Chain A
């Protein structure tokens, strides 16, 4: 008879556990933008992103945020110029929100719809493919977000009267940990 109680307890408890909230935390990240100019290429890297994901009833909401001024191209003058053209004084954070089913963590390639807030604009990027590798308790995510200057109404900086290219792809490398 006690065995039946144990069995009943287990069977009743499992679905509760499955539906309980779980969380993901961004433990390491590297975000790199790439700017192209006919005479010049440059990249800016930030390791200052913070992120969290909350899962409930099989659905997860993620928020990742990074300060605009945390990007370092190796030239503080260029970084301040980028901060100015990206209206980083008024809008100091870049945020990315996404919504995923919890079972997406089992996929090698995760197509993600992103909502990016940057320079006072909110833009949706649909079905961006991110590569996913599980390493121990961590999930490593890599991919590229195809940002453009016109999406965010940013005037392209110029050198010798030649503007930089409109495309500023952002390479994303993140390590998430389930808590």
Chain B
């Protein structure tokens, strides 16, 4: 019975030994030891092999002494070989990385004076295509960036000129009380006209940059910009209509007549236009 148990134990030991050898053969790293030439320092050399079986040139090799934490780096040559001479004996961690490959690591023990060989295989790195992104999604172009830059630049000009336009616009509204109603002052009317013209010129310059700014394909409008655009459909026509009605009113006043007919809508239209313009500025002012 004891003899049978001993046989089973021996058989198990042999199987475990076979398994251990199997693991070692399967591992990507093979570290055969050879006799060193120097009794004090050790050395490590080997080849870095890519997934296709060829040497990987310019692979970065970092070796770290696990006892001291000291690291040394080198690179493979054009054939994928590397050499790390003059290493202190001890346990090391070898890390190999190369562009387009996965990083691989291995533990190496160097005996005093030993020269070891450690060959490592690098698997191909995951790519964006492996994740399901098409090459069109993964690669941009200088033209796409130029379009974005142009858009940002034009909208910045739209914003700045639009803010400047608000100054004569407010002043135009303020001078309207002297220009209209019962006032017969010619100078007030001309001041109102001049400020209104300045506001209109700046307004349409600003609008030009907003309208001509390139759109970005595949973008849907979200957030405050939608309110900003809706308000533009109010102050835009208002900025066209207001000066036309103003010109008729100016003509009537210049003839000494009371403002009448369609020209009497000049004031209310201007107020609605100015209010929509102010709201449009506020709708996007708290952003960068």
Contact = CB atoms under 8 A, between A and B. Distances in A.
A68 B147 CA distance: 16
Given A8-B15, A83-B216, A93-B133, 15 more contacts: A39-B286, A52-B131, A57-B26, A59-B104, A61-B125, A65-B133, A72-B222, A74-B222, A75-B223, A77-B155, A78-B287, A80-B216, A89-B141, A89-B147, A92-B144
Contacts of A51: 131
Contact of B11 (A4, A40, A52, A89): A4
Given A12-B22, A54-B126, A76-B219, A81 B288 contact: yes
Interface in A27-83: 35, 37, 39-40, 50-52, 54, 56-57, 59, 61-63, 65, 67, 69, 72-81, 83
B123 interface: yes
B16 A93 contact: no
Interface of A: 4, 7-8, 11-12, 14-16, 18-19, 35, 37, 39-40, 50-52, 54, 56-57, 59, 61-63, 65, 67, 69, 72-81, 83-85, 87-93, 95, 97, 99, 157-159, 164
Nearest to A75: B223
B139 interface: yes
B139 A92 contact: yes
Nearest to B103: A99
A76 B220 contact: yes
Contacts of B148: 80, 83-84, 88-89
B126 A61 contact: yes
CB-based closest 10 A-B pairs: A89-B145, A75-B223, A89-B144, A63-B126, A159-B288, A84-B148, A90-B145, A50-B131, A61-B102, A92-B140
Interface string B111-142: 00000000000010111101111000111111
B51 to A, nearest CB: 11
Nearest to A77: B225
Contacts of B275: none
Contacts of A157: 288
A19 B23 contact: yes
Contacts of A19: 23, 26-27
B221 interface: yes
Interface string B131-174: 11100011111111111110110010000000000000000000
Interface string B215-258: 01011111111000000000000000000000000000000000
A93 B139 CA distance: 8
25 contacts: A4-B11, A12-B15, A16-B22, A52-B130, A54-B123, A57-B26, A57-B28, A59-B103, A61-B125, A63-B125, A63-B130, A65-B128, A74-B222, A74-B223, A75-B287, A76-B225, A77-B155, A77-B287, A78-B287, A87-B145, A89-B148, A90-B140, A91-B140, A93-B137, A158-B288
Contacts of B141: 89-90
Contacts of A69: 218-219
Given A75-B224, A76-B219, A76-B222, A11 B15 contact: yes
Nearest to A26: B131
Nearest to B228: A77
A84 B149 contact: yes
A76 to B, nearest CB: 4
Contacts of B287: 40, 75, 77-78, 159
B105 interface: yes
B128 A93 contact: yes
A79 B18 CA distance: 60
